[in-house]
């Protein structure tokens, strides 16, 4: 006879989704979700507060870890990091926005596959370097950019980072999601799978993601060339 599993604690996921959808304060949403989850799991209010307090104390240095890189990047931008990166990439005649982002996509996937996920990211790489370099490459080849094109380049730069790290880290055998899938499959269905096998089967998916997104970036160059032709015509 199998023990009945209490699924009511999963209501915390719905609370988080609804709170973020309604754009409530993130801290309030997370705390409310924790309280709701604890009550659904038949925990006492004292135990819930104890868990929330322990979680807060264990991550009290997280704000410092997040803020220090932002301060450094802000200082670099103030002293011309974006302008220098744009000037440098504009001096490479063969550089295009699409080619630059394809190279970054490959590098991001390969480093993420080795577990080096912190080498990139939106605040430390996309905003100060990758997006300005993509804009500089496009401006040197196609002239002045409209705001619409500029925002599209920034969005593609951010998407490239997302695709690279998301599908690259699934190949890293020590990645948390790999171990999570291994435990769920083994406990839920009794199927014995080595984490290495799960990681290896992430390689075809990563290759497909690279090919698809690289094609999108290639089409981006084609679109920019058409815009220039239309403008000149």
pLDDT (0 to 100) of residue 198: 79
pLDDT (0 to 100) of residue 158: 94
pLDDT (0 to 100) of residue 1: 42
Rounded Cα gap, residues 16 and 30, in angstroms: 6
Q: Are 90 and 136 in contact (CB under 8 A)?
A: yes
In the numeric block, the tokens 């990758």 are attached to 130
CA nearest neighbour of 163 among 201, 200, 214, 197: 214
pLDDT (0 to 100) of residue 37: 87
Look at the pTM and tell me if it is higher than 0.85: no
3-state secondary structure of 72: helix
Per-run averaged pLDDT (10 residues), the chain, 233 residues? 66 86 81 86 83 67 58 65 66 80 94 86 85 87 86 94 92 75 71 78 92 95 80 60
pLDDT (0 to 100) of residue 99: 92
Burial class (CB in 10 A: 0-12, 13-18, 19+), 38: buried
pLDDT (0 to 100) of residue 164: 94
DSSP 4: P
* Dihedral, 33, 34, 37, 40 alpha carbons, nearest 10: -110
3-state secondary structure of 2: coil
């Amino acid at each position: 006879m199998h023990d009945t599993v209490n699924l009511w604690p999963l209501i915390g996921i719905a609370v988080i989704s609804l709170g973020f959808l309604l754009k409530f304060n993130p801290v309030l949403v997370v705390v409310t979700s924790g309280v709701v989850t604890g009550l659904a799991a038949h925990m006492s209010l004292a135990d819930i507060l104890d868990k929330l307090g322990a979680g807060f104390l264990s991550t009290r240095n997280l704000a410092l870890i997040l803020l220090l890189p932002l301060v450094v990047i802000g200082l670099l931008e103030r002293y011309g990091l974006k302008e220098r990166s744009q000037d440098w990439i504009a001096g490479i005649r063969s550089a295009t926005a699409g080619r630059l982002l394809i190279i970054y996509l490959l590098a991001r996937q390969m480093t993420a596959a080795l577990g080096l996920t912190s080498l990139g990211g939106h605040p430390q790489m996309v905003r100060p370097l990758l997006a300005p370099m993509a804009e500089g490459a496009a401006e040197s080849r196609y002239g002045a950019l409209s705001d619409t094109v500029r925002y599209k380049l920034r969005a593609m730069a951010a998407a490239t980072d997302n695709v690279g790290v998301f599908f690259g880290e699934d190949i890293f055998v020590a990645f948390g999601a790999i171990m999570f899938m291994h435990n769920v499959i083994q406990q839920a269905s009794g199927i014995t799978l080595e984490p290495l096998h799960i990681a290896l089967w992430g390689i075809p998916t990563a290759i497909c993601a690279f090919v698809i997104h690289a094609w999108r970036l290639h089409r981006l160059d084609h679109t920019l060339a058409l815009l220039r032709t239309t403008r000149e015509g």
